[in-house]
């Protein structure tokens, strides 16, 4: 990973280093503003303002006068260099980066611009109770890892509590039994499982299956009796690998 990059804007040379979390959030916000200005067909003035917002977030010493005097190829070249510099290392390993921390389709009445930026800080502060300066100065990759672990742990706690409630076991009219219904998971937690094939356990010989009556608890909490294999030559003991002779 590149530790720094040298850029020139308006005749001034600047050395830029990768932004910590606070700077990264500012760069992402400026990028969104720039994309919106381009998509909306904004005039060159609006696009120029957004480009300056991005560069000044990475180069605090860059004045607007210097920026205005710089040719476009120079400012755009600096923009591309800084954007490459701030790519998150091994970003493909973090499925949470493929979406937002919240569901964009369900906006709340208290919605405001750039709310997702503040959620990164809110999640970390709520879990670790760190000061704002500490959070904003985290390396971006570390911040992403922290948020991933916090949200995964929180989801696990929700699933555990959910599994203890009756809501998790709706009555199925077809089987006349209560069937466990897993709690919904956010898209980023299941994105990597779509193409994953079930594990092939192979087959288990009847001779190694347990002998005698096996009590299996059904979804309604009642017993479901079946007979094992072994020398009794019995039956399949339920969900799981198929038995073979």
| 209 and 134 within one domain | no
User: Of 27, 55, 87, which marks where a domain is finished?
Assistant: 87
| 211 and 169 within one domain | no
User: Of 162, 177, 196, which marks where a domain is finished?
Assistant: 196
| 116 and 36 within one domain | no
| 185 and 109 within one domain | yes
- Rounded Cα distance between 142 and 133, Å, is 15
pTM for this predicted structure: 0.66
| 180 and 104 within one domain | yes
| 156 and 189 within one domain | yes
Predicted pLDDT at 195: 53
| 79 and 153 within one domain | no
| 56 and 79 within one domain | yes
Domain tally, the chain: 3
**Domain range for residue 100?**
94-196
Beta-bridged to residue 205, according to DSSP, are 244
| 108 and 16 within one domain | no
| 150 and 107 within one domain | yes
| 107 and 51 within one domain | no
Residues of the chain with pLDDT under 50: 198, 225-245
| 74 and 34 within one domain | yes
Predicted pLDDT at 230: 44
Predicted pLDDT at 56: 95
pLDDT in tens, 13-51: 999 999 999 999 999 999 999 999 988 886 788 899 999
User: Of 87, 119, 149, which marks where a domain is finished?
Assistant: 87
């Amino acid at each position: 990973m590149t530790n720094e990059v040298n850029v020139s804007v308006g005749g001034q040379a600047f050395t830029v280093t990768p932004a910590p979390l606070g700077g990264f959030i500012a760069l992402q916000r400026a990028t969104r503003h720039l994309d919106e200005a381009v998509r909306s067909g904004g005039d060159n003035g609006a696009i120029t303002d957004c480009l300056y917002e991005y560069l000044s977030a990475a180069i605090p010493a860059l004045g607007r006068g210097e920026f205005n005097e710089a040719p476009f190829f120079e400012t755009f070249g600096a923009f591309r260099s800084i954007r490459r510099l701030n790519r998150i290392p091994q970003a493909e390993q973090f499925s949470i980066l493929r979406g937002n921390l919240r569901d964009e389709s369900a906006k709340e009445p208290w919605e405001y611009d750039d709310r997702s930026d503040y959620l990164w800080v809110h999640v970390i502060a709520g879990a670790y109770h760190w000061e704002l300066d500490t959070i904003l100065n985290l390396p971006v990759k570390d911040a992403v890892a922290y948020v991933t672990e916090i949200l995964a742990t929180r989801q696990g706690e929700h699933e555990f509590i959910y599994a203890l409630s009756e809501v998790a076991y709706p009555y199925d009219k077809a089987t006349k039994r209560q069937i466990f219904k897993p709690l919904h998971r956010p898209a980023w937690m299941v994105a990597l499982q779509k193409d994953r094939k079930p594990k092939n356990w192979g087959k288990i010989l009847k001779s190694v299956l347990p002998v005698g009556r096996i009590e299996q608890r059904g979804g309604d909490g009642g017993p479901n009796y079946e007979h094992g294999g072994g020398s009794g030559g019995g039956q399949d003991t339920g969900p799981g690998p198929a038995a073979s002779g």
